[in-house]
Structure 1
Amino acid sequence: MTNKDKSHLCWTIAFSVGLLFSGRAAQATLPIELEVAMEPGSSLTAPQEWTRILGKMNLSRVRLRSIRSTDQPSVTHVQVGKSTRYRVLAILSHRDELILPKKHFRMQDRRKLQTYFEQLPNETQRNASPRGRFDLTEKQFRRLFTELSQPVSFATEGKISSEVLHQLQKKLTLPVVQTPRSSVLLELSLRGELQGLSTGTALAIVLRQHGLMLQPEITRDNSMQLTLATYDSQGDAWPVGWKPEKSIRLIAPQMFEQLTLEATNITFAEVLSQLKPRLKVPIVLDHWILTQREIVPDQISVKLARRKTFLKGALNRLASQARLATEIRIDELGQPFIWVTQFGKDSPRATQ
């Protein structure tokens, strides 16, 4: 058979396929119109085999044709009334492979191909929307932020962390997914009082104490979930508070109160306890970092010569003697708190 004859055969098959699938469109459940551009050199039986395979994929329309010089695998979506239709251009290669955007399929990959088509509408919509942190759209992030802005209405100090988590979950509409490891670690007691803080910041604190982190994720069906994952410095975790947009002087003016202070024969833990009434904001210790760095605040003596100073400056100097630093952050409700940690790759500064 000459190349000319073979080319004519391909066009004949393309016409037949168009007729074959036009009658199936009414029964299709997937709003996908597939156009397959055939490269020269594919086997004689490949178009017929792929016709049979694609006919079982429940697509609204399938058409085969000869390839053009500008053809590339692509997906576009168009609005038809209130529904969205997806137009897919695939290439049938000379190796008899079906080349789709980001994927190649052979004839024996039928189940994978079916899954690809079933997931394509959600994946296309997901990729079409601008995304920011946590790979969320602006609408998704606003929804999550609002949900995590609910205040913690119960006392937490000394309770088993899993019990605290269970109570916090009751307020959430989003599913929380645990791993076997997180379930074990959360059976330990929680240190620190989180009552009054927002749920998002409280969750991040609870999990961090046990080497875990909260990760918002989008599932394949484009729904959102919160996953409790093992801490990873490269992972995108929900933070322990945020960098304030307003000046510290505005949100915590008491930190710039000038007073005369002196510290002798006192531990850093005692300093925090005695300064707490003047600070007027919650003090939250990064217990995970304290454990990792073997820092025990109630065993570290600090001192400060009698002097007139700002409360913020005095606190920073005393913290540095315990190999720690402080940072004023806000929770999802905009409430300030003092985060006490040792900054580094495992404890970055707050961001907005």
Structure 2
Amino acid sequence: MRWFVLKILFVCWLGSTILPGLAQAQPTEYSPDKTLLEIEILLPQGPGDPLLAQKWRQEFERIGEAVRIRQPLADEKVAISEKPRGPFRVVKVTGAINRDGVLIFPGKTFKPGQSEQMKMWLTEIKTYGAQGSPQGQPRYGLTEPQFKTLFEQLTPPVADPLKGLSIAAAIEKIPLPAALSLNYHSTAAALQQSAGQTKLEDEVQGLSTGTALAYVLSQQGLAFRPLRTPTGQIQLLIQPLADVPDAWPVGWPVDETRPRNEIVPGLFKTVDTGVQTAPLSIVLDAIEDRTGVRLLVDLRASLAKQLDPRQTTVSYPKKYTAWSLIVSSVVVNAHLTMTYRQDEAGTGFVWITPFAHYVPPAVKSKPN
């Protein structure tokens, strides 16, 4: 399902530095020693190997976990759920043994002899509860309601102009809700320290909090992702961009069937104009002022490929045409590419990045 659909449906460890924002009301903290496991294993229906129950009971005894092994009730399925019981959290884990002797849990299977792997998984359940560790799960390991809430929290627009500020100052001015804390991972310390020297080259005023934050961080080589802690609290963790394959994106894909003049209407106004030879960044700034559409350049990625929009000059012949055609032409001539995207609030903008396969001349000329 495309992310734009999510928007329609929704409308829709940690480092030492925490940026401004009051902490949300803390959920009850359940440490592993305050988590009780109730494990039930369902036997195969019908005739089966009578030794299966004995084999798996021995596996659970080996890892020190109590288990109840029984015949299933009608339509009973494997499941994991949790509920509070006084100061404790009770996690009920229901698994099933198939006719091959494999133990099946939601999203996990274990064969006889894999008691250590099962022990590690149950330890994870004790730590994180019924949702398990968020690592490797879709939607950052959040439930649909949790993701919906987070998405909506990152929807309000940036009110202040941020262009020209240092990356550090720009981040502080992005209006994160009080319920979310922003934390730097220890691996991001060096980039965090230098964020006071790097200036933000493009304006993000008017774009939503999530997209603006993702863009500003990316220009410092950083990214953020939601982190569900063992207590169930959602925090935003900042790491080096290269270390976060599932980073919160700079905007979301738009519906390919949706007319572009509905997404970025200002770019589809026709004008009788042209562009005299000028640096690409100046041209884009002028078009942005006239159309009201944000044109975000991934400057850091461009400079990595020796493409500097502040130095690369472009032009466009004077004619009666749409702003979108002018932008497309000057961007392509600078060895860049443009993509229409939308922020969490559905506001369209243009994301400009280097051609994926562009190789700088200096690199091409190097001998093998």
> Same fold judged by TM-score > 0.5?
yes
Q: In the TM superposition, what is the alpha-carbon distance from 1:155 to its structure 2 partner?
A: 3.0
2:239 aligned with 1:229: yes
Which of 86, 93, 105 is the matching residue for 1:86? 93
Partner of 1:202: 212
Unaligned runs of 5+ in 2: 1-33, 43-49, 72-76, 359-368
2:275 aligned with 1:263: yes
Judging changes above 3 Å, is the alpha-carbon distance between structure 1 residues 163 and 171 closer, same or farther for their aligned structure 2 residues?
farther
Task: Give the counterpart letter for 2:331 in structure 1.
Answer: A
Task: Give the counterpart letter for 1:86 in structure 2.
Answer: V
Judging changes above 3 Å, is the alpha-carbon distance between structure 1 residues 260 and 169 closer, same or farther for their aligned structure 2 residues?
closer
Once residues 200 and 329 of structure 1 are traced to their aligned partners in structure 2, the CA distance between those partners, rounded to angstroms, is 13
Q: In the TM superposition, what is the alpha-carbon distance from 1:135 to its structure 2 partner?
A: 4.2
SS of the equivalent of 1:195 reads coil
- 1:206-259 CA-to-partner distances (Å, cap 9, x unmatched) read 111122222223344554332222224981221111233442212333322222
Once residues 313 and 235 of structure 1 are traced to their aligned partners in structure 2, the CA distance between those partners, rounded to angstroms, is 32
Partner of 2:19: none
Partner of 2:150: 144
SS of the equivalent of 2:146 reads helix
- 1:118-176 CA-to-partner distances (Å, cap 9, x unmatched) read 2485246989xxx7544433212211110110222233223332333344375242333
Task: Give the counterpart letter for 1:147 in structure 2.
Answer: Q
Q: In the TM superposition, what is the alpha-carbon distance from 1:341 to its structure 2 partner?
A: 1.8
Which of 297, 319, 340 is the matching residue for 1:328? 340
Partner of 1:341: 353
Asked if 2 retains the 8 angstrom alpha-carbon contact of 1:99 and 1:105, the reply is: no
SS of the equivalent of 1:226 reads strand
Which of 149, 165, 174 is the matching residue for 1:159? 165
Asked if 1 retains the 8 angstrom alpha-carbon contact of 2:299 and 2:308, the reply is: no
- 1:30-88 CA-to-partner distances (Å, cap 9, x unmatched) read 2504569966998xxx96x975973xx5x5xx4579xx9xxxxx954589999874345
Which of 318, 324, 328 is the matching residue for 1:306? 318
Q: In the TM superposition, what is the alpha-carbon distance from 1:340 to its structure 2 partner?
A: 2.1
Task: Give the counterpart letter for 1:118 in structure 2.
Answer: K
SS of the equivalent of 2:160 reads coil
Q: Map of 1:1-352 to 2, 5 A cutoff? A: 30-34=36-40, 54=64, 62-63=67-68, 76-77=79-80, 85-88=92-95, 102=109, 104-105=114-115, 115=123, 118-119=126-127, 121-123=129-131, 132-168=138-174, 170-186=176-192, 187-188=194-195, 189-191=198-200, 192-232=202-242, 235-245=245-255, 246-344=258-356
Asked if 2 retains the 8 angstrom alpha-carbon contact of 1:156 and 1:190, the reply is: no
Which has the greater radius of gyration?
Answer: 1
Once residues 238 and 214 of structure 1 are traced to their aligned partners in structure 2, the CA distance between those partners, rounded to angstroms, is 6
- 1:262-309 CA-to-partner distances (Å, cap 9, x unmatched) read 333322223223323322222222112122112122322222223222
Judging changes above 3 Å, is the alpha-carbon distance between structure 1 residues 86 and 190 closer, same or farther for their aligned structure 2 residues?
same
Task: Give the counterpart letter for 1:262 in structure 2.
Answer: G
Task: Give the counterpart letter for 2:166 in structure 1.
Answer: I
Once residues 181 and 38 of structure 2 are traced to their aligned partners in structure 1, the CA distance between those partners, rounded to angstroms, is 31
> What do you get for the CA RMSD once the two structures are aligned?
4.3
Asked if 2 retains the 8 angstrom alpha-carbon contact of 1:179 and 1:229, the reply is: yes
Larger relative contact order (CA 8 Å, sep ≥ 6): 2
SS of the equivalent of 2:204 reads coil
SS of the equivalent of 1:294 reads coil
Is 226-235 or 275-284 further displaced after alignment? 226-235
Unaligned runs of 5+ in 1: 1-27, 69-73, 92-97, 347-352
SS of the equivalent of 2:282 reads helix
Once residues 125 and 102 of structure 1 are traced to their aligned partners in structure 2, the CA distance between those partners, rounded to angstroms, is 16
Asked if 2 retains the 8 angstrom alpha-carbon contact of 1:204 and 1:238, the reply is: yes
Number of residue-to-residue matches in the alignment? 293
Partner of 1:13: none
Once residues 253 and 63 of structure 2 are traced to their aligned partners in structure 1, the CA distance between those partners, rounded to angstroms, is 55
Partner of 1:8: none
Q: TM-score, normalised by structure 1?
A: 0.66
Judging changes above 3 Å, is the alpha-carbon distance between structure 1 residues 320 and 86 closer, same or farther for their aligned structure 2 residues?
closer
Q: In the TM superposition, what is the alpha-carbon distance from 1:204 to its structure 2 partner?
A: 0.6
Asked if 2 retains the 8 angstrom alpha-carbon contact of 1:262 and 1:307, the reply is: yes
Judging changes above 3 Å, is the alpha-carbon distance between structure 1 residues 174 and 261 closer, same or farther for their aligned structure 2 residues?
same
Task: Give the counterpart letter for 2:169 in structure 1.
Answer: E
Once residues 119 and 210 of structure 1 are traced to their aligned partners in structure 2, the CA distance between those partners, rounded to angstroms, is 33
Q: TM-score, normalised by structure 2?
A: 0.64
Judging changes above 3 Å, is the alpha-carbon distance between structure 1 residues 234 and 334 closer, same or farther for their aligned structure 2 residues?
same
Once residues 238 and 82 of structure 2 are traced to their aligned partners in structure 1, the CA distance between those partners, rounded to angstroms, is 38
SS of the equivalent of 1:315 reads helix
